[in-house]
Chain A
Amino acid sequence: MRRLVTDTMIVAERNLIRLPRAPELLLAFTVQPIMFLLLFRYVFGGAISTPGYSYVDFLVPGIIVQNIAFGGFVTAIGLNEDVHKGLIDRFRSLPMARAAVLAGRTLSDVVTNALSITILLVTGLIIGFAFHTSALDAIAGLALLLLFGYAFSWFFAFVGLLVSSPESANSVGFIAVFPLTFISSAFVPVQSMPAVLKAFAEVNPFTIVVDAMRYLWLGAPDSSSVWEAFVWVFVIMAVFAPLAVARYRRAAGR
């Protein structure tokens, strides 16, 4: 067990050291979210009506959840590269804890997610976002974000091990996550959507997590979404962690 913890930390450290050396990844964590936040706030914001909230208050929790969902891309692409470049073989020939490769991978996503959250939150505060709840609620919101991001990393770990190249990891992840995040309450009120989309959006876990965030940060009325969001986090993890582990065994045992 101690070995698992140590090895997980070593693998996580490795993933984090390389981050600043891959400028395209760093851009994806910093400039891109800021760009989206500014575009939505100033380009679409005026045209979207969000009764009860200013658009910037409405937008910030939504866009942070979307960003967190995309954070796992690094895991998908990184794992896929590791398989192709023979690094997984090397790891498996070492006397290290077997689970540490995936555990370290997903753990380092928590750090990069924390970085994205900080950047978006600071930018949000600058352009007018404000918390309307207690510090405790705000912190609970941060915890939910990090947990949700961690669960989603397992989804991306699975994708990364499933597909044949880093490029396809990128497009599969994109095609899966982009519609899910947009057909949700992240950017517009669900009530404004056509009936079919609205029905989908209302059961979409992204809507539930975003609504939970609005409850925790803005004091929005929908309190039941908070426990539902935590349930979703554990469901996603319970489904995709075993799938990713099984896939890892297979990919490595070729």
Chain B
Amino acid sequence: MHSAQDAYSTVAQAASPGAGEPAITVEGVYKSYGTVEALAGVDLEVVRGTVLGLLGPNGAGKTTLVRVLTTLLTPDAGTARVLGCDVVRDAATLRERIGLAGQYAAIDENLTGLENLTMVGRLYGQPRAVAKARGRELLERFDLVEAAGRPAKTYSGGMRRRLDLAAALVAKPPVLFLDEPTTGLDPRSRLSLWQVIEELVAEGTTVLLTTQYLDEADRLANTIAVIDHGRLIAEGTSDQLKDRVGGERLEVSLDDGAESAAAVRALAPMSDDTPDADGNVVKLSVRERSGSIVEAVHRLSEAGVGVDDLALRRPTLDDVFLALTGHAAEDGSDEREQGA
């Protein structure tokens, strides 16, 4: 099994023209469907060996961008290069070096796990024996050995996604596109898929991942690009994005919700903005982290407000998303369930 694997050893790493260049470069890409602008001028770079998380609600343009980058769709304007290959002019060459796992598990339900992977391998141009050996190796890696001989229609949702991801890895592509890889999965399958993706990245694979889950982007991505209505509205590391929405958040739970107005008045001098009151919880972003808890307790007790609980936390990507787009990230939850 190993010799076969070595024989086919990495089309991937061998082909690296212009190693200094980013793995993915997108410049001014537009794509519209009729009057709907799916991509309204996107610029983006992904450094080799890193994970870019493309974060946005349904209909933001995530899938359209992935389809452009995987040669499935021709952009109306702009250019995009992956590993130095133009996605339009060098599409045929590029297809040998990328892997795509789409939003729906694109596998043949009537074929077994092994037959699916062997077919994909052979369509990459591998001899049958090599494709089969590579398929076995991937089934082992994705914990599908027992199911290898069963038609894929008997697989659970998580197993299908794993098989789909395995199919994307058949040719050991140096760049991998994952379009909402965990949408519709249960938490356990999700976690196991995350681990696989982390392993691939550790081996040097460049990943562009779309997601509408903030925790997924937070965990997997080195860089997060936030997309909304076909435009990138922010880009940076998770920490950089969080810094953009301001400093630490102080959350105070009051004994009595009726005292929230008094609490807001007492805490207001600690923040640049007016604290929010919601029931018996008062939230504010504080200017200084150190000493802010002591100061808050002091101010509240002077104002005679009883405190039940008090916590200081970093802003979450939820806060970021809300601040940047004016709406929550999970807007399209109904559509998401359809996809599941």
Contacts and interface: CB of A to CB of B under 8 A. Distances in A.
A90 B107 CA distance: 8
A21 B120 contact: no
Most buried by B among A86, A91, A95: A95
A14 B104 contact: no
Given A17-B111, A18-B111, A92 B119 contact: no
A1 interface: no
A170 to B, nearest CB: 18
A93 B66 CA distance: 11
B111 A86 contact: no
B13 to A, nearest CB: 17
Contact of A14 (B74, B111, B151): B111
Interface residues of A, number: 23
B100 A95 contact: no
Contact of A89 (B106, B109, B124): B106
Given A14-B119, A95-B96, A87 B106 contact: yes
B95 A93 contact: yes
Given A17-B115, A252-B72, A94 B95 contact: yes
A21 B104 CA distance: 22
A27 to B, nearest CB: 15
A10 B122 contact: yes
Interface in B82-100: 92, 95-96, 98, 100
A10 B128 CA distance: 10
A96 B123 contact: yes
A71 B73 CA distance: 33
B71 interface: yes
A85 B72 CA distance: 15
Contact of B98 (A86, A93, A96, A254): A93
A85 B71 contact: no
Contacts of A17: 110-111, 115
A14 B108 CA distance: 9
B279 interface: no
B95 A95 contact: yes
A47 interface: no
A92 B72 contact: yes
Contact of A93 (B71, B108, B111, B122): B71
Interface string B200-239: 0000000000000000000000000000000000000000
B167 A90 contact: yes
A96 B131 CA distance: 15
A85 B106 contact: yes
A80 to B, nearest CB: 14
A110 to B, nearest CB: 19
Interface of A: 3, 6-7, 10, 14, 17-18, 21-22, 85-87, 89-96, 252-254
